[in-house]
Amino acid sequence: MYGSYTGRSRPRGRAAAGFRVTGTAAVCAALLLAGCSGDGDSAPVVGQQPKEKDPYWVNPDGSAARQVAAYEEDGDQEKARLIRKIAEQPVGEWIGPDAPENEARRVTEAAAKADRYALLVLYNIPHRDCGQFSKGGAADGNAYRSWVDGVAKGIGDRPATVILEPDALLHLVDGCTPQEHHDERYALLKGAIERLKKQPATKVYVDAGNAGWQSPETLHEPLWRAGIEKADGFSLNVSNFRTTAVSTEFGKKLSVKVGDKPFVIDTSRNGNGPYEGGDPAETWCNPPGRALGEPPTTTTGDERVDAYLWIKRPGESDGDCKGGPKAGGWWPEYALGLARATK
């Protein structure tokens, strides 16, 4: 099974759909989840980070923020304090398969209203995830093109950064995606970059896996074929655990092979690096003992690294392994473990 080696599984659809909240604030959280944020009597439990440090939008109604509210409602201030480590940081908004224009507009309008940038993750390529925990995706190439077009229209002229199709390119390289789908996937990735870049304030980073998956020598030609020259750069370590130092070294080697393109690194859960023990599957599916990594920022101190981002939403499951909910479901126990392990 390729998942044992490739290193991750993805949220399917809107991750909030799997949200579980403990305590008497469950009804309130359910209302928020439905989009009924109330009558304005209660203020959000989290605000925005300083723009000069991190210009990305913190969702005040995210799963972690709702969990903080639930713990505070129950008087459990210690757990609320721990989950705040997640809730107060901007995380990626994974655009679901349905109504992409409306969803992209909702997120980018909320971000623009807060004078911040939206961070969007597009994960809907046909034949996604090779039948593993996050299998699915658009029905065919035409459906995918229409979906991307909807996302682009929803973004409009508002500032947004798009992480394009985690794993899609790497599953071509490692053989997970059958050969008969390769030409179409390359064309879809290239077309998605071209369509998204028609939006005046949109940046696009095409996913390039992680430092433990493939080598720069095997990745640069596929990246060129996927249209990296028209993208703003590439992303690394999405939903994975490779350290920032290792990811940076890997990214620089790859960068010089793709026109010196910069890159972003997912630092959401890499604070303790990758899991080294047990079943190989444990290295990527809800591995124990992991920690939050560097907080999101565009001030990385390295000209090749555009940002540290939390692309994978910490506290959301990789899949229904080790007692976790389905991929993308909020898992408060795992979120607490990440926060407790963070120095």
Q: Facing residues of 164 across strands? A: 122, 206
What CA–CA distance (Å, rounded) separates 202 from 200? 6
What CA–CA distance (Å, rounded) separates 96 from 305? 28
Q: Which residues, 6+ apart, have CB-to-CB distance to 246 below 8 Å?
A: 211, 273
Q: Which two tokens stand for residue 164?
A: 């394009």
* Contact (CB, 8 A) for 296 and 310: yes
Please give the helix or strand (H or E) that residue 234 lies within, else none.
strand 233-236
Catalytic machinery residues:
129, 167, 318
What's the angle, vertex CA 176, arms to CA 231 and CA 99, rounded to 5? 55
Q: Which residue, among 188, 131, 130, has the nearest Cα to 164 in the 3D structure?
A: 188
What CA–CA distance (Å, rounded) separates 236 from 259? 17
Please give the helix or strand (H or E) that residue 83 lies within, else none.
helix 77-87
Find the Cα–Cα–Cα–Cα dihedral 61, 67, 70, 75, rounded to 10°.
-130
Q: Which two tokens stand for residue 308?
A: 């540290």
* Contact (CB, 8 A) for 162 and 202: yes
What's the angle, vertex CA 229, arms to CA 11 and CA 175, rounded to 5? 50
